[in-house]
């Protein structure tokens, strides 16, 4: 199944969508079943695999998964440790399987506070599939949209090209020789909440927002399709309106 939304892009060369997902509700999913919260996060890992497969089948170009924010360090220490181990298992196993299928997997966010073993697993997956791929999956780990913009602002004076594009390079973490990641077209949040939670703020400036009560571990291809169909009904003007012909 391939879905094209060429009329929804911002006049960029690659018309494939950039979809971002705030994956919320895993802990509540587990608690509703009388299970430890960590069981919900493990079930959420399976939902990530389904989302990646669905994105690839539907011709999505970039899939950004908002996984662990800087604020999540305030959760119980045991839960944080279990989450970090789950991320490591993902990059050692799931990500390498994706890479073998021609999918690029990277991480955005701080790495100085992550365990060395997790950083090594991330680096291994990133090195295994460098450059262009039909689908680029990005996991935001220890990520803050505000901090990303602030860090870019600190480094921006070093750039001679004071343009929005060069600033976007810094915000999105792109190498100076690489094109920045396209803006987010569609932002999905699961779990029923209606807030952005410090997600990639620069990239969602003109994103269409879609909120669903579906808890993340239950999110599947049909839910992905529902969000895409809703996106397809939106008329994106990017602040402009067509000229009136008299």
Side-chain half-sphere exposure of 23, counting CA atoms within 13 A: 31
Is residue 156 exposed (0-12), middle (13-18) or buried (19+ Cβ within 10 Å)? middle
Active site residue 72: yes
Determine contact, residues 188/25, Cβ cutoff 8 Å.
Answer: no
Active site residue 24: yes
Determine contact, residues 101/137, Cβ cutoff 8 Å.
Answer: no
Instruction: Output Rg (C-alpha) for the chain, integer angstroms.
Output: 18
Exactly one of 7, 11, 14, 72 is catalytic; name it: 72
Exactly one of 24, 94, 183, 185 is catalytic; name it: 24
Side-chain half-sphere exposure of 209, counting CA atoms within 13 A: 14
> Distance between the two ends of the chain, CA-based, in angstroms?
42
> Buried b vs exposed e over 97-120: b needs ≥16 C-beta within 10 Å?
ebbeeebbbbbbbeeeebeeebbe
Tokens at residue 22, please? 């705030």
The set of catalytic residues is: 24, 72
């Amino acid at each position: 199944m391939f879905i094209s939304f060429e009329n929804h892009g911002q006049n960029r060369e690659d018309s494939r969508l950039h979809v971002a997902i705030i994956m919320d509700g895993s802990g509540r999913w587990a608690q509703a079943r009388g299970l430890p919260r960590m069981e919900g996060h493990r079930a959420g890992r399976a939902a990530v695999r389904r989302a990646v497969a669905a994105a690839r089948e539907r011709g999505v170009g970039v899939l950004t998964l908002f996984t662990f924010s800087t604020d999540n360090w305030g959760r119980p220490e045991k839960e944080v440790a279990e989450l970090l181990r789950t991320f490591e298992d993902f990059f050692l196993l799931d990500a390498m399987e994706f890479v073998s299928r021609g999918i690029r997997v990277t991480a955005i966010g701080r790495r100085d506070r992550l365990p060395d073993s997790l950083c090594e697993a991330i680096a291994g997956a990133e090195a295994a599939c460098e450059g262009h791929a039909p689908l680029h999956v990005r996991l935001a780990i220890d990520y803050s949209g505000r901090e990303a913009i602030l860090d870019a602002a600190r480094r921006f004076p070093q750039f001679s090209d004071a343009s929005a594009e060069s600033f976007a390079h810094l915000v999105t973490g792109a190498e100076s020789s690489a094109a920045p990641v396209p803006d987010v077209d569609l932002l999905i949040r699961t779990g029923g909440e209606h807030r952005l939670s410090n997600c990639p703020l620069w990239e969602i400036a003109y994103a269409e927002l879609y909120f669903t009560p579906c808890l993340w571990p239950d999110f599947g291809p049909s839910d992905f399709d529902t969000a895409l169909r809703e996106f397809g009904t939106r008329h994106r003007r990017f602040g402009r309106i067509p000229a009136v012909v008299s």
